[in-house]
Structure 1
Amino acid sequence: MVQERTGAATLVGQPITLLGPELKVGDQAPDFKINKDLMTEAGLSDYKGKVKLISVVPSLDTGVCDAQTRRFNQEAANLGENVVILTISADLPFAQSRFCSIAGIDKVVALSDYKHGSFGQAYGVLIKELQLDHRAVFIIDADDTIQYVEYLREMSEHPNYESALNALRELVG
């Protein structure tokens, strides 16, 4: 039985239900199954040994999601080889690829949760009413322990970029 968190967030002020647990700092990061493209899947183990910043967006075709992805892509160049930034949405992989190529996104790895919703359920961001992933940021250390979590209360708001980036910089020294 998947946990339902009714009213855990809002979309333009209207309550939405998030499926899955609310993860906390110190939790072991759950594994997931997600798509790199239509046929190739990936999971947490594909990024083993790296510090991971996971930027979750509902759809890359919206203004806040676009800005969030561009911001983390811009910062990625200064974070070192041991850091990977993943942007996860329920967009189809070819839409993600098109967006990244048009927007010049070349340092962030775009992954799609469209097929299974596995990431969304494991990380407590799958929106029951929309089957999209709710905006959030997770930082996971090289041992797959969660070191930073931000679930946005209102889906249309920006995450706290500085807070996330400061936590990431502290982690990678």
Structure 2
Amino acid sequence: MSQTRTGAATFKGNPITLIGPALKAGDKAPDFVLNKSLVEEVSLKDFAGKVKLVSVVPSIDTGVCDAQTRRFNEEAASLGDNVVILTVSVDLPFAQSRWCGAAGVDKVTLLSDYKHRSFGEAYGVYIQELGLDQRSIFVIEANDTIAYVEYLGEMTEHPNYEEAINAVKALV
């Protein structure tokens, strides 16, 4: 049975319920299964040996999610080849691919939690009321230990981009 965290965050001021644990720096990163396409799935081990910046957005087709993904795409070039940036949402892979093409985003890998919701539940970001994943940032070391976590208290706010990027830079 997954942990339920009632009122852990809000969406436009209204409390939401998150399913899964509140992870913190020092925790072992939980495994997950995410879709790269409707049939191709990936897990944590597919990014073994790399520092992982995982940017979680509720839906790529909203303003803050769009800006968040574009920002990390811009930062990617300065982080080097030992870093992978993953954007996770529950959008269908088709929508993610279309958005990347239209936005010119090519340095961030978009992955979908639509099928299994395993990322959302393992990382404590699955929103029970909305069926979406909560805006959050995870920086995971090459050895799969979590180095940095930011769960946003209000879904419509931007994450602290500088802190997340600095957490990655400290690992490379």
2:152 paired residue number: 152
Give the match for residue 41 of structure 2.
41
Q: Give the aligned residue type for 1:109.
A: T
- Tell me how far apart the structure 2 counterparts of residues 26 and 162 of structure 1 sit (CA, whole Å): 20
CA–CA distance in structure 2, aligned partners of residues 49 and 76 of structure 1: 17
- Alpha-carbon separation, structure 2, partners of 1:101 and 1:77: 18
Code of the aligned partner of 2:122: A
Match in the other structure for 1:101: 101
Q: Which amino acid aligns with 2:169?
A: R
> Partner letter of residue 4 of structure 1?
T
Aligned to 1:50: 50
Q: CA deviation at 1:19?
A: 0.3
Q: How does 1:132-143 map to 2 (within 5 A)?
A: 132-143=132-143
Matches within 5 A, 1:61-76: 61-76=61-76
The share of aligned pairs that are identical, in percent, is 70
Q: For residue 112 of structure 1, what is the aligned residue in structure 2?
A: 112
Report the equivalent of 2:87. Answer: 87
1:26 equivalent in structure 2: 26
Shift of 1:39: 0.4
SS of corresponding position for 1:24: coil
User: Could you report, residue by residue, the CA deviation over 1:44-71 in whole angstroms, capped at 9, with x for unpaired residues?
Assistant: 0000000000000000000000000000
User: 1:3 maps to which residue?
Assistant: 3
What is the distance in 2 between the residues matched to 1:37 and 1:21?
Answer: 27
Partner of 1:13: 13
The separation in 2 between residues aligned to 1:143 and 1:102, in whole angstroms, is 34
Hey, what's the Cα distance between the residues in 1 that align with 2:123 and 2:89? 13
Equivalents in 1 of 2:45, 2:120: separation in Å?
17
**Matched positions, count:** 172
Offset of 1:160 from its aligned partner? 0.3
CA RMSD of aligned residues (A): 0.4
Q: Distance in 2 between matches of 1:53 and 1:139?
A: 5
Structure 1 residue aligned with 2:131? 131
Distance, in Å, in 2 between the alignment partners of 1:13 and 1:97 is 31
* Alignment TM-score, normalising by the size of structure 2: 0.99
SS of the aligned residue for 1:6 comes to strand
How far 1:121 sits from its partner (Å)?
A: 0.2
- The Cα shift of 1:170 comes to 1.1
Task: Provide the C-alpha distance between the structure 1 equivalents of 2:170 and 2:2, rounded to a whole number of angstroms.
Answer: 34
**CA distance, structure 2, for counterparts of residue 169 and residue 97 of structure 1:** 28
Which runs of no fewer than 5 residues in structure 1 stay unpaired? Answer: none
Q: Secondary structure at the match of 1:2?
A: coil
3-state SS of the aligned residue for 1:171?
coil
